[in-house]
Amino acid sequence: MDTTRPAGAIEPPLAPETLAVHPWATAEGRSRAHRTLNAPLFLTTQWEGGDLPELADHFARDPDRGFYTRFGHPTIRLAEERIAALEGAGDALLFSSGMGAISTSLLAVLRMGDHVVAHQAIFAQTIQLLEHLSASAGVDVDFVDAADPRQVAAVIRPSTRLLYLETPSNPAIDILDVQALAAIAHAHGALVFVDTTFAGPMIQRPLALGADLALQSASKSLAGHADVLAGAAAGAAALIASIRKMRVLTGPSLDPHAAWLLLRGMQTLPLRVRAQSETAGAVARQLEASPAVSHVRYPFLPSHPGHDVARRQMDLGGGMVSFAFRGGLESTRRFVRALRWIPLASSLGSVYTTLEVPEELDFATEEIGDRAAWFALPPGLVRLSIGVESAADIERDVQRGLDAVEESIGRAGAADHGSAG
């Protein structure tokens, strides 16, 4: 059978699963710039020039191919190109952490007198950063419930420079309608930044929904093995160029070895994310069925208030679930003590199933003052990050915790009934 494509036929784009695996894959085919199957790791911070004009040319034209690592590095550049391909972006940048990506991107676009509208329940330290910019740099910030686009429209003004979103949000798992919100912001000339850490490019692509910049902690699902600290920003080439200049000045460059590990981790991203999403959906339904659980948030649960939006803008439900118990923090502590092997840990998105209780962490509450969105979280909220272990093993360990809480609540109910009698 002749499989030759007819002359002039349009080649279909490579699927994300292919782009994630092959560091050399392009729309035109396989690049053979390095003639290696795996991406090469260059453990050097600088390159020599054959003469002064050659070194100057490297600096002026293409620092990513070898000048000095704060400006760029070929291994880092390969990882950036891979992320840009996955996000459908004109370009992408990597940083030494997710907060490095967020802070550098904000510094690149905001000036004194600018106004920012932000969702009220974004990552705690992003809230702290925006409040710092408000106090020290003359940037006005309004926090609103962006799950209601009318609240965003009500506070936008001529000086609004940026709408900052996070969806699904950390840890509340709020779902925000990026397309609707981007239309509101762009009608007023504002940029739209979306922190997509809880999803990533296999689940949602904010740029395709109208966002100007997709931000994420690449330490999480992109790298996926709890051994890399990195952040990423992806967007149009012109915007990325301005953020690149700020990265050179502030210096949050990624280590080349971390970039190499990130490239390796992204090769299994599609497999991991699909497995995590399938198990997370099952665990969310398990939690929702428990009489001890008062609150469950998972994007693909019909009970989630943003379920319809999630189904429209997300390909998968993701690996993150948040939930709370009727007994509050004490029930949460009882749940954690009953677990046999799922650990408490400070991060998420890796091959390991982990959980965190934000209320118990100082950075999530102490420096935010009376931020209403945080204190509106159910007491003892658990943030559960599903890994790639056996789904049956995960569900069994979760059930151990549920049984302990249900037994306690049952005893308390019986005692109350006895005293009432």
When divided into structural domains, the chain yields a total of 2
Instruction: Count CA within 13 A, CB hemisphere, residue 95.
Output: 28
Report H helices in 354-390.
372-375
Helix 98-109 × helix 124-136 angle, to 10°: 30
Confidence of residue 21 (pLDDT cuts 50, 70, 90): confident
Q: Is residue 7 part of a domain?
A: no
Are residue 260 and residue 276 in the same domain, yes or no?
no
Could you tell me if residue 114 is inside a domain? yes
Residue 296's DSSP bridge partners are 323
State the Cα–Cα distance between residues 61 and 55, nearest whole angstrom. Answer: 10
211 plus 252 within the same structural domain: yes
pLDDT: which is higher, 78 or 32: 78
* 376 pLDDT higher than 90: no
Are residues 242 and 361 located together in one domain of the fold?
Answer: no
Q: Are 285 and 255 in the same domain?
A: no
Q: For 46-123, where are the alpha helices, taking DSSP H only?
A: 52-61, 74-87, 98-109
Based on the domain organization, do 400 and 342 belong to the same domain? yes
CA 59/CA 78 separation, integer angstroms: 18
Strands (E), 268-389: 293-297, 320-325, 354-356, 382-385
User: Which of the listed residues 238, 266, 294 is the one where a domain comes to its end?
Assistant: 266
Of 321, 336, 330, 328, nearest to 378 (Cα)?
328
Residues 249, 290 within the same domain: no
* Residue 3, in any domain of the structure: no
Q: Give helix then strand counts, H and E, for the chain.
A: 14, 13
Supply 335's token pair: 């749940």
Token pair recorded at residue 374: 């945080």
Contacts of 1 (CB under 8 A, 6+ apart): none
Q: Are residues 104 and 207 in the same domain?
A: yes
- Out of 266, 301, 334, a domain closes at 266
Q: How many CB atoms lie within 10 A of CB 70?
A: 16
Q: What phi, psi does 243 have (nearest 5°)?
A: -70, -35
> Residue 4 falls within a domain, yes or no?
no
Q: Among the listed ranges 60-69, 73-82, 132-141, 290-299, which one has the minimum average pLDDT value?
A: 60-69
In a domain, residue 11? The reply is no
Residue 102, domain member (yes or no): yes
The separation between the first and the last C-alpha atoms of the chain, rounded to the nearest angstrom, is 83
On whether residue 241 sits in a domain, the answer given is: yes
Mean pLDDT of 254-278: 96
pLDDT of 166 higher than 80: yes
Same domain, 249 and 315: no
* Confidence band of 255 (pLDDT split at 50, 70, 90): very high
CA distance 197 to 265: 15
Do 326 and 261 belong together in one domain?
no
d(CA 93, CA 64): 11
Provide the percentage of residues in the chain whose pLDDT is more than 70: 84
The reply to whether 249 and 300 lie within a common domain is no
Q: Which of 266, 285, 306 is the last residue of a domain?
A: 266
User: Confidence class of residue 56 from pLDDT cuts 50, 70 and 90?
Assistant: low
The predicted pLDDT at position 2 comes to: 44
pLDDT of residue 58: 63
Q: Is the separation of the CB atoms in 267 and 21 below 8 Å?
A: yes
393 pLDDT above the threshold of 60: yes
- 181, 212 Cβ separation under 8 angstroms: no
Q: Which CATH number belongs to the domain containing residue 286 in this structure?
A: 3.90.1150.10
pLDDT exceeds cutoff 80 at 97: yes
149 shares its domain with 249: yes
26: CATH: 3.40.640.10
Closest CA to 222 of 234, 208, 210, 232: 232
Q: Give 111's pLDDT tier (boundaries 50, 70, 90).
A: very high
Do both 26 and 139 map to the same domain? Answer: yes
Range of the domain at 304: 269-420
Residues 269, 235 contacting (CB under 8 angstroms)? no
Least confident of 176-180, 340-344, 358-362: 358-362
* 29 located within any domain: yes
pTM higher than the cut 0.85: yes
Spatial distance between the Cα atoms of 256 and 44, rounded to a whole number of angstroms? 8
